[in-house]
Amino acid sequence: MKFPPDSCLPVFLAALLAAAPTAAATAKKPPKPKPAAAAVVESQPDATDLIIQARSAESRGETELAVRLAQSAIVADPAHPASYDALGDVYAANNQPDFARSYYAEALLIDPTDGSAQKAVAALDRGAKEKRAASAEGTKTGIP
């Protein structure tokens, strides 16, 4: 590119600046941003709804779903002892008393008067006692 001589530089710059507003006036303006659409906020199910769904899933034999729903109830409201009771119930119904007992214990930490957890722990204790008695009886008779 060939530049004009130094003596022409002021004239060249003046012409360039004079042309600039015309170019800016003919340039398209960027479009105005559209207002953001209102964020859709889905309401999260509350712990009670999740517990109901967990119990329903358990009654249909959908154990994995019941566990996930009961866990979701705990996440939704960690201070709600019934959520822990529900998860304990799922484990108790599926012959996993150690897991069940741990969730009932959590419920009782939140509310020591939680009747559901107290009854469930008592039932687990009775079941464990009966199992030990049956095992002892089998040992006496030679039946494993």
Written as tens digits, the pLDDT of the chain (144 aa) is 555 555 555 555 455 556 555 555 555 666 666 666 555 666 778 999 999 999 999 999 999 999 999 999 999 999 999 999 999 999 999 999 999 999 999 999 999 999 999 999 999 999 887 777 777 776 565 555
Residue 72 has a pLDDT of 97
- Does 4 map to a domain? no
Closest CA to 45 of 82, 87, 74, 86: 74
Number of structural domains (the chain) is 1
- Does 6 map to a domain? no
What CATH number is attached to the domain comprising 100?
A: 1.25.40.10
SS3 91: helix
CA separation for the pair 116, 51 (Å, rounded): 14
Sign for the pseudo-dihedral over CA of 99, 100, 101, 107: positive
- Does 83 map to a domain? yes
Helix ranges restricted to H, the chain: 9-26, 47-59, 63-76, 81-93, 97-110, 115-141
CA separation for the pair 95, 6 (Å, rounded): 96
pLDDT tens track for 54-67? 999 999 999 999 99
- Does 78 map to a domain? yes
Closest CA to 67 of 91, 41, 40, 42: 91
Domain that holds residue 53: 47-125
Question: Quick check: 66 and 47 in contact, CB under 8 A?
Answer: no
- Does 64 map to a domain? yes
SS3 113: coil
Q: What is the pTM of this model?
A: 0.64
- Does 24 map to a domain? no
Share the mean pLDDT of the chain: 81
Residue 93 has a pLDDT of 95
- Does 57 map to a domain? yes
Residue 31 token pair: 């479009």
- Does 75 map to a domain? yes
